[in-house]
Amino acid sequence: MELSPQIQKEAKKYNVPVAYLVLADLKHLGYSDSDAYAIAYPENATLSAQQNRSIMDTTLSSQKFKTLLQARMEKHGNTDMVMTGDDELLSKEDTARMIMTAAMAQPRDSKERIEGLMKYSDLMGYKKEDAEGDLTEDIRFFLPLKCNQCPLYYAYNDFLRKNGEREIRPVEMEHVMNVSHKLIAAAQAAE
């Protein structure tokens, strides 16, 4: 990955690889260790999970990286929004704000900006709100393909079994429905 000369100049200033700088900035923005590592080191995607984990742990625990991360946090400010340990978690709103800030800092038509805005909308649940509003408009009923898969057939046979009567075969169900329809219609008329 080829980054801007400014980023390369900053990496030289701190005497670290460019990937360290990217990793530190992503961590500062609130990315998890594994996500930040995957973005900063895309060339390592072909390595095994164990190798990746080992390299990531070594990098994140190195004193050089910790010093760089602290320097980047001081330079960019807003260190109160970043998790500094396991004792506090970010709220949904803080996470959304950080994602939105990072996305809006990207060039207008860049892939990173679009992905950031998509993550923001997923986190805020915009898709769920749209889906919940349409639930009453689209109610569907599905009938079984065969009579022997019908819940009415099973229920009727259970009723017969409990009353000690002979169960019916699937092909007899049409006749049962015709007879019972006449009885139900007669009962409704009598009311």
> Which has more pLDDT, 150 or 147?
150
Farthest CA pair distance, the chain: 94
Which two structure tokens, joined as six digits, stand for 66? 């910790």
What confidence tier does 87 reach under pLDDT thresholds 50, 70, 90?
very low
Quick check: 130 pLDDT over 70? no
Which two structure tokens, joined as six digits, stand for 72? 């980047």
Mean pLDDT on 123-131: 70
Q: Which residues are CB-contacts of 161 (< 8 A; sequence separation ≥ 6)?
A: 167
In the block, which residue shows the tokens 């022997």?
148
pTM of the model: 0.40
pLDDT of residue 34: 84
Q: In angstroms, rounded to a whole number, what is the distance separating the alpha carbons of residues 63 and 2? A: 25
Mean pLDDT on 143-152: 74
| Predicted confidence (pLDDT) per residue in 41-80, tens digit | 888 888 888 888 898 899 888 888 888 888 888 887 654 4
Mean pLDDT on 85-107: 77
pLDDT of residue 161: 92
Mean pLDDT on 161-190: 88
| Predicted confidence (pLDDT) per residue in 138-147, tens digit | 667 776 667 7
Q: How many residues does the chain have?
A: 191
Quick check: 163 pLDDT over 90? yes
Closest CA to 28 of 62, 58, 68: 68
pLDDT of residue 96: 85
What confidence tier does 171 reach under pLDDT thresholds 50, 70, 90?
confident
Rg (CA), the chain: 31
| CA-to-CA separations, 114 to 41, 42, 73, 107, 127, in angstroms, rounded | 21, 19, 25, 10, 16
| Predicted confidence (pLDDT) per residue in 101-122, tens digit | 888 888 888 888 888 888 888 8
